[in-house]
Structure 1
Amino acid sequence: QEMPAAVPAARAANAPDDTFLLTIFLRHDESRPLPKINEQLRAQGFFKAFPPPGIEVVSWYVMMGIGQVVTLRVPASRLREVNRAIETTAWGGYRTEFYPTYDYKALAQQMRANDGK
């Protein structure tokens, strides 16, 4: 059986071939109150530098007990730029984790529709 594309066809047609999704966990330092964290992030230029211009934000959520979870669509050639924006402006305010990610929603929905009967 042929596997359907994980990304809806309309979205896949618009996405450059060299992009990937990158999910970043920005974990709060719970030993410090949020105003102090934000003060440090402002001083380091986080809000100006992240995400770098032209990098698409797919989602940006607050996950209670974790911090913020950001998913970006990143051209492969710009991965270093995204990493450097985090290293130079987010560290100290956040502990960071990076996860290459892919969109599975359309495939999961199709599998549930076909195989979940």
Structure 2
Amino acid sequence: MKYTLLLVLFFLQHLAYSQSNKIEVASEKGDDKLMLTIFLKHDQSMNLNEIEQIRTDQGFYQNFPPEGVSVINWYVVMGIGQMVVLELPASKLSAVNLAIERTAWKAFKTEIYPTYNLYPIIENKLKNKSKVVY
């Protein structure tokens, strides 16, 4: 009897532990798209015309963003340079990297960060629910 009780307790503990380790995915889309934020940091030893000439010569405007990649936003960040937010299938990540390496280097120093939109998750928690849409 004592061993049966221990066996039952063991199984209950195991069952409770396995149920508590469920992984919830924040994305409800179920696709392989991701967002990427790219900082194109100005080299302040060059003026804007010199930077523009390098971008043009390297084919930046013809090759960025690569096919299948969407621009969500493109901002000027004063004192830093430009910030580009892209949406892309995960399979296009290497194409974005190559496009940056081949056409933006020399004109910019780059920083690239995977990002996601937190607003749909946090929206209902905010006291002020207004969102600016341009």
Q: Tell me the TM-score range normalised by the shorter chain.
A: 0.7 to 0.9
- 1:58-69 equivalence runs, <5 A: 58-69=72-83
Secondary structure at 2:126's aligned position in 1?
A: helix
Instruction: Work out which of the residue numbers 98, 105, 108 in structure 2 matches 1:94.
Output: 108
Structure 2 stretches of 5 or more lacking a match?
Answer: 1-24, 128-134
Return the letter of the residue paired with 1:77.
Answer: S
Asked whether the equivalents of residues 68 and 88 of structure 2 are also in contact (C-alpha less than 8 Å), the reply is no
Q: Percent identity?
A: 48
Partner of 2:66: 52
Matched, 1:31 2:31: no
Distance 1:110 1:6 in 2: 15
SS in structure 2 of the partner of residue 92 of structure 1? coil
Superposed displacement of residue 110, structure 1: 1.2
Aligned length: 104
**SS at 2:85 equivalent:** strand
Q: Distance in 2 between matches of 1:60 and 1:53?
A: 17
Structure 1: stretches of 5+ with no match in the other structure: none
Superposed structure 1 runs of 4+ greater than 4 Å apart: none
How far off its partner does 1:112 sit?
1.3
Higher-RCO chain (CA-CA 8 Å, sequence separation at least 6): 1
Contact conserved, 1:40 with 1:93, CA < 8 A, in 2? yes
For residue 79 of structure 1, report the CA deviation from its aligned partner: 0.3
8 Å CA contact retained: 1:6, 1:106: no
Whether the aligned pair in 1 keeps the contact of 2:39 and 2:110 (CA below 8 Å) is: yes
Q: Name the structure 2 match of 1:80.
A: 94
Deviation of 1:108 (Å): 2.4
CA RMSD across the alignment: 2.0
